[in-house]
Structure 1
Amino acid sequence: MRFLVTGSTGFIGGHLVRYLVSRDHSVTALVRDLTRAGDLTSSRVNLIEGDLVLGADLADSLDQVDCVLHLAGATMSGAEQGYFRVNATGTRKLCEALARVRRPPRLVFCSSLAAAGPSVPGRPRKEDQPVAPVSAYGESKLAAEHAVRGFADRVSAVAVRPPIVYGPGDPAFVPTLRTMVRCGVVPKRGFGTRAYSVIHVDDLCAALLAAAESDVRLHPEDQVAGVYTVSDGFEYRLEDLAAAMAEALGRRAPAVVPLPGPMIGLAALAAELAGRLLGTAPTFNRDKARELRCPAWTCSTENAVRDLGFHPTITLRTGLTRTLESSS
Structure 2
Amino acid sequence: MKRRNFLQQTALAGASLLTASGVSAAGNSIYRQPRTAGSAPVADKPFNLNYAFHDGMFKSHGGADFIDQIKFAYDHGFRSIEDNGMMGRTVDQQKKIGDTLQKLGMNMGVFVITSDNWHWRTTLTTGKQEWIDKMINDCKTAVEVAKRCGAKWMTVVPGNYERSLSLDYQTANVITALRKACTILEPHGLVMVLEMLSDNPDLFLRHSDQAYMICKAVNSPSCKMLFDMYHMQRNEGDIINNLNKSWDEIGYLQIGDNPGRKEPGTGEMNYKNIFKHIHGKGYKGILGMEHGNFQKGTEGELALIKAYREADNFM
The TM-score, its normalising length taken from structure 1, stands at 0.32
More strand, by proportion: 1
